Amino acid sequence: MWPALSLVGGLLLATAACAPASRDRTTVVVASGADLESANPLVTVHPLARQVQRYALFVTLARYDTALTPQPYLARGWEWSPDNTSLTMHLVPSLRWHDGTPTTARDVAFTIDAARDPVTGFFRRGDLATITATEAPDDSTVVVRFSEPQSRFPLVLCELPIAPVHLLAAVPRAELRTHAFARQPIGNGPYRFVERRARESWTFERDSTFPAELGGPAQIPRLVIAVVDEPTTKFAGLASGDLDLAGISPSMAALTEGDPALALVTYPVAFTNALVFNTTRAPFSDLRVRRALAAAINRQRIVDVALSGLGVAANGPVPPGHPLLAEAAPEPAAAALLDEAGFRLGADGVRQRNGVPLRLTLRTVGSGDNAIEQLVQADLRALGVLAEVQQMELGAFLRDARATDKPFDALITGIPGDVSLSHLAAMFESSQAGGALDYAAYHDTDLDRLFAAARRATTPDDERAQWRAIQQHLAAAAPVAWIYHARGVQGRSRRLHGVQMDLRGELVTLASWSLAP
């Protein structure tokens, strides 16, 4: 029995041995705040699940270096046609799926074609919009054709793990999300899947045959992703040695630094926390109401109180200091906007229209104290708006967020971006399932044209102009109230070595991690 966390009488790590498996040199245990959404890279949004896919279970065609420049990986080299409308990639020939089947160009062609099919629901589909065809002339050669000249290697190919054509080609793409492969995958990465215990753990073992051309076998024999949703439980697991790595609450940063067995790791992440309105449901279909509620949030107080300063207040989807950042527009007067929308402040301090109070339910994931949600709730109450926080399990939350007919008022959620900050459309583009605007049911043809123009930009000045126009458009429409740009905060056991974290993710150096006795 591999490790699984229990909260009966405190933190326990159950194993078949007398001592926790995490205390030997064969197993590293990493905490996840929720069960991994899926093992299928074509349908996954959950950030840690995507990292497990990229760095443990599967491989990508290319991968980022520390400067976020694409480097060869499964594609050991590539070249462009003279007119930059055709990309030919040459694959490492020795990689096999964990069932022994060779990984070939057919797998690559299948993966790209499935990802750009809208029926699949791949959340980065927009980044593949200019691809017109994918061909596999032989087992180790892939040709990708584009509708227009490309200015650079498609960065999405650094983040799209290759999926097995021999296992998934016969599955209708509309059923990929629910197919058994999502829970019992066959990969081709440095770690092979062993076992999933629903809402408890995922276990992976090192593939001893992983090719030297791709880095060779990983250092640690076994990886366990343990589901631990309570921040205090994560810290207790770190302190006891049951966990080797865990995202922790910023409020516990000082405790972590004070423990001689632990190290605090903070790092930049492409992740923004936001309040997403259901723009199809009254009164949130009213622009004045959305802008008023967005303006009422005291973002800096949230960063200072809930994050202990380990974050940056957001006035849009682009973080401060980024060259694509647009100048922020002045905040509107929230009370005046609600007055204009007909919501008058009553004697009880609650805004009403035609005798109906202005109230909303804020849906969120988890079971903790939800400090951020409570601060938003208090800010809205000060404006005369009644807000109720509703905590949900991740699967149910995503089901409702993605539903065509949205059954909620508003969501408070993290929106993952990709590490290339010039491709922030992955976070919120209206044509992509999983983006914040998809959750908000917000669609605007002018905005779509701006996104398309941003992708076609060939000069830095043109790219900046298009992205600033996008930000101005979103600020005016307010389908999303951006709250803060996150900074990763992890507790690490000092016996775990080789860990490096940056915009590429927490698991980027997983294959080279090692455990001291």
Residue 450 pLDDT more than 90?
A: no
Report helix, strand and coil shares of the chain as percent, to nearest 5. 30, 25, 45
Strand partners, 195: 203
- Asked if omega into 283 is within 30° of 0 (cis), the reply is yes
pLDDT in tens, 93-135: 999 999 999 999 999 999 999 999 999 999 888 889 899 999 9
In sequence order, the 6+-apart residues with CB closer than 8 A to the CB of 393 are 34, 365
Higher pLDDT, 297 or 327: 297
**What 3-state DSSP class applies to 400?**
helix
Mean pLDDT on 416-440 = 58
Q: Give the pLDDT confidence score for residue 381 in this predicted structure.
A: 97
> Are 440 and 279 a contacting pair, CB within 8 Å?
yes
For 149-204, the pLDDT digits (tens) are 988 899 899 999 999 999 999 999 999 999 999 999 999 999 999 999 999 999 99
Q: Closest Cα partner for 175 from 48, 42, 58, 52?
A: 42
Cis check: omega of the bond before 320, within 30 degrees of 0: no
Report the half-sphere exposure of 407 (CA within 13 A, side-chain side).
7
Looking at the predicted structure, is the pLDDT value of residue 287 above 90? yes
Task: Say yes or no to pLDDT of 22 above 50.
Answer: no
Which domains does the chain carry? Answer: 5-57+189-244+495-515 (3.40.190.10), 62-168 (3.90.76.10), 269-487 (3.10.105.10)
Given a cut of 60, whether residue 4 has pLDDT beyond it is no
Rounded CA-CA distance 58/512 in Å is 16
What's the average model confidence in pLDDT over 283-309?
95
List the one residue out of 346, 244, 243, 351 whose CA is nearest residue 292: 351
Burial 308-320 (b: 16+ CB within 10 A, else e): eebbbbbbbbbbe
Neighbour tally for 263: CB within 10 Å: 16
Tokens of 36: 């991994």
Contact predicate 241/28, CB 8 Å: no
- Position 109 scores a pLDDT of 98
Over the stretch 306-330, which tens digit does the pLDDT of each residue have?
998 999 999 888 877 666 778 888 8
Convert the pLDDT of each residue in 231-268 to its tens digit: 889 999 999 999 999 999 888 999 999 999 999 999 88
Residue 383 Cα to chain centre, angstroms: 32
pLDDT for 456 equals 75
SS3 427: helix
- Give percent above pLDDT 90 in the chain: 67
N-term to C-term CA, the chain? 22
Would the pLDDT of 140 be above 70? Answer: yes
> What is the model's pLDDT at position 433?
42
- Dist CA 269 CA 210 (whole Å): 29
Q: Concatenate the DSSP letters of all residues of 410-449 into one string.
A: EEEEEEE--S-GGGTHHHH-TTSTTSHHHHTT---HHHHH
For residue 6, pLDDT over 60 is answered with no
Whole-prediction pTM: 0.75
Q: Cα 110 from chain centroid?
A: 23
For the chain, give the number of residues. Answer: 517
Per the CB < 8 A criterion, the answer to whether 484 and 272 are in contact is: yes
Confidence bin at 418 (pLDDT 50/70/90): low
pLDDT(454) > 90? no
Report residue 471 CA to chain centroid gap: 20
Query: How far is residue 463 CA from its own chain's centroid?
Result: 24
Please give the average per-residue pLDDT across 344-357, as a whole number. Answer: 95
The arithmetic mean of pLDDT across residues 341-350, rounded, is: 95
Strand 359-365 to 410-416 pairing = parallel
Confidence at 84, pLDDT banded by 50, 70, 90: very high
Cβ-based burial of 389 (10 A; exposed 0-12, middle 13-18, buried ≥19):
middle
**Residue 135 backbone dihedrals phi, psi, to 5 degrees:** -125, 150
Question: Does residue 17 surpass a pLDDT of 80?
Answer: no
